């Protein structure tokens, strides 16, 4: 059976009208963006010419007539619309193709749920952040990739868990305090290490390598948590053994025992586990009203079908079908690779458009990354958290968020910078400005969540949600005041 983490396939409208919309939005505006301005022509060379499309692609300047004319208003509007469409395209590619191919690969390789959840599914849910930082690191170096990750981490906790806590039912499941302590500790440790490495505005290769190694250590603690508890608490004592047995029973009902059990164990990636699960297994559906999307009956559904028809058409004909974990095809590796290319391309467009907006409006790249881009890339992951909480699966909601944040802080930040340092033989430079505010909000996201859960009996409650949502409002006020003050 296919995993329930992705949205159902929406191959609905593959018409010339849909193709025309896509061409008008992507290629038509792309040509307009690349239009040369008279003042930019090179007069001193024999091959003088206006600004080319290649220049627009590789540079972060905004000097075209389209971008600077009329104060750049039309350009900003179209850039924003293009970014919003990119968000939608990323969600479709990741949820419907990338994650599915990973599921099939895990099934083929017979990888255990803990390892699969902590490593592979993390790449699926955080692919946009990883590729965004990769593109920014090697192409633009505007620090917008770091801003996306910073904003995503804050948004996931303050808004994702905050809103989930506010709407969850009163009989929400209790979180496993041991798992919460483990994930919160790794999260805080990641924050401290990242901040200490970028404090001097440059990151050496060994510092990035340490971040990657930290994730290896985190995966180790996830996979061998039970064994580590026996080692630390004493394997000979009957009390320790009883606690271990109790923990295992709790994990069956509260699938937050591992970083990404949310995505693998509890969403039935393992056929064996799904056969022995309780009559009402914990699962998360990204989008519940599947029939409304497949058979549009409302105006909104029809509009959504028309809107997504171009991207659905293109990915349907370019990404091979990987099948399902139960009925895989022989093209699952190609599906994985082509999905990665799609995600990389969409991430590049997203970073490019955002960089252009910042150039036209004269605002910092980190501001755009921490607000607009972070919200857009976090919505799919936050939706899974919110739906899990609405079904009373509090452990899933919290574990999903903390797992994503740990991956973002260690891999999505560390891996691109490590490759950059090795490829160029020098440290990666980052102009982050004053780090006092970001450090405060990052630590607040960890401590308020942990001690808030502890205060409310390790359960999501409306009061905790109100506190987290209020902190996000304060965070937005802070970043805008810091930029424009």
Which of 10-14, 235-239, 355-359, 370-374 is most confident?
370-374
Band of pLDDT at residue 244, cut at 50, 70 and 90: very low
Q: Which range (126-135, 312-321, 349-358) has the least confidence?
A: 349-358
What are the structure tokens assigned to 444, written together? Answer: 């607040």
pLDDT number for residue 43: 37
For 22-79, how does the pLDDT look when each residue is reduced to its tens digit (9 = 90+)? 433 443 334 334 333 333 333 333 344 444 444 545 555 565 555 555 556 777 888 8
Task: Say how far residue 27 (Cα) sits from the centre of its chain.
Answer: 26
* Rounded mean pLDDT, 291-313: 74
- DSSP code string of 424-436: HTSPEE------H
Q: At what angle do helices 144-155 and 413-424 cross, to 10 degrees?
A: 160
Contact indicator for 64, 34 with CB cutoff of 8 Å: yes
> How many Cβ atoms from other residues are within 10 Å of residue 86's Cβ?
26
* Rounded mean pLDDT, 415-440: 88
What are the backbone angles phi and psi of residue 398, rounded to the nearest 5°?
A: -75, -45
pLDDT number for residue 6: 41
Above 90 in pLDDT, residue 415?
Answer: yes
Domain ranges for the chain, please list them: 21-86+129-256+329-484
What are the structure tokens assigned to 77, written together? Answer: 């509007």
pLDDT number for residue 252: 47
Contact indicator for 155, 473 with CB cutoff of 8 Å: no
What architecture is domain 21-86+129-256+329-484?
A: Up-down Bundle (1.20)
pLDDT number for residue 319: 92
What are the structure tokens assigned to 141, written together? Answer: 């170096």
Q: At what angle do helices 436-455 and 144-155 cross, to 10 degrees?
A: 20
For 159-169, how does the pLDDT look when each residue is reduced to its tens digit (9 = 90+)? 989 998 888 88
Band of pLDDT at residue 210, cut at 50, 70 and 90: very high
- DSSP code string of 201-219: SEE-HHHHHHHHHHHHHHH
Calculate the alpha carbon distances from 2 to 102, 287, 388, 399 in Å: 11, 14, 18, 22
Between CA 328 and CA 343 the distance in angstroms is: 22
Q: At what angle do helices 144-155 and 127-135 cross, to 10 degrees?
A: 160
Contact indicator for 338, 100 with CB cutoff of 8 Å: no
What radius of gyration do the chain's Cα atoms show? 23
Buried b (16+ CB within 10 A) or exposed e, 36-65: beeeeeeeeeeeeebbeeebbeebbebebb
Higher pLDDT, 264 or 375: 375
Band of pLDDT at residue 222, cut at 50, 70 and 90: confident
Average pLDDT, the chain: 74
Q: At what angle do helices 177-198 and 394-407 cross, to 10 degrees?
A: 20
């Amino acid at each position: 059976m296919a995993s329930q983490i992705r949205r159902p396939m929406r191959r609905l409208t593959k018409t010339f009208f849909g193709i025309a919309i896509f061409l008008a939005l992507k290629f038509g505006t792309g040509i307009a963006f690349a239009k040369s301005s008279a003042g930019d022509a090179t007069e001193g060379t024999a091959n003088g010419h206006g600004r080319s499309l290649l220049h627009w692609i590789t540079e972060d300047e905004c000097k075209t007539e389209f971008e600077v004319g009329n104060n750049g208003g039309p350009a900003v509007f179209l850039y924003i619309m293009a970014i919003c469409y990119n968000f939608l395209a990323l969600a479709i590619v990741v949820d419907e193709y990338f994650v599915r191919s990973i599921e099939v690969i895990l099934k083929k390789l017979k990888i255990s749920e803990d390892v699969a959840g902590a490593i592979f599914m993390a790449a699926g849910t955080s692919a946009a952040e990883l590729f965004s930082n990769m593109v920014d690191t090697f192409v633009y170096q505007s620090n917008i990739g770091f801003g996306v990750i910073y904003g995503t981490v804050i948004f996931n906790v303050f808004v994702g868990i905050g809103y989930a806590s506010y709407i969850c039912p009163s009989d929400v499941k209790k979180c496993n305090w041991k798992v919460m302590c483990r994930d919160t500790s790794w999260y805080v440790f990641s924050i401290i290490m990242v901040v200490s490495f970028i404090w001097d505005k440059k990151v050496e290769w060994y510092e990035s390598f340490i971040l990657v190694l930290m994730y290896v250590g985190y995966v180790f603690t996830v996979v061998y948590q039970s064994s580590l508890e026996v080692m630390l608490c004493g394997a000979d004592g009957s009390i320790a053994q009883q606690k271990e047995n109790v923990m295992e029973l709790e994990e069956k009902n509260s699938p937050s025992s591992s970083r990404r059990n949310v995505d693998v164990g509890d969403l039935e990636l393992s056929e064996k586990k799904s056969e022995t699960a309780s009559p009402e297994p914990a699962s998360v559906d990204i989008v519940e009203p599947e029939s409304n999307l497949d058979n549009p009956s409302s105006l909104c559904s029809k509009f959504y079908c028309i809107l997504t028809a171009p991207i659905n058409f293109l990915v349907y004909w370019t990404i091979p079908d990987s099948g399902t974990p139960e009925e895989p095809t022989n093209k699952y590796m190609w599906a994985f690779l082509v999905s990665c290319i799609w995600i990389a391309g969409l991430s590049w467009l997203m970073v490019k458009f955002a960089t252009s907006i910042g150039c036209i409006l004269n605002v910092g790249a980190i501001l755009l990354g921490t607000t607009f881009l972070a919200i857009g890339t976090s919505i799919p992951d936050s939706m899974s958290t919110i739906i899990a909480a609405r079904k009373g699966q509090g452990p899933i909601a919290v574990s999903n968020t903390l797992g994503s944040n740990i991956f973002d802080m260690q891999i999505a930040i560390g891996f691109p910078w490590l490759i950059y340092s090795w490829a160029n033989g020098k440290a990666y430079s980052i102009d982050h400005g004053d780090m006092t505010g970001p450090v405060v909000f990052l630590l607040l996201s960890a401590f308020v969540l942990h001690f808030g859960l502890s205060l409310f009996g390790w359960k999501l409650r409306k009061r905790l949600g109100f506190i987290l949502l209020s902190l996000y409002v304060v965070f937005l006020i802070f970043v805008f005041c810091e930029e424009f003050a």
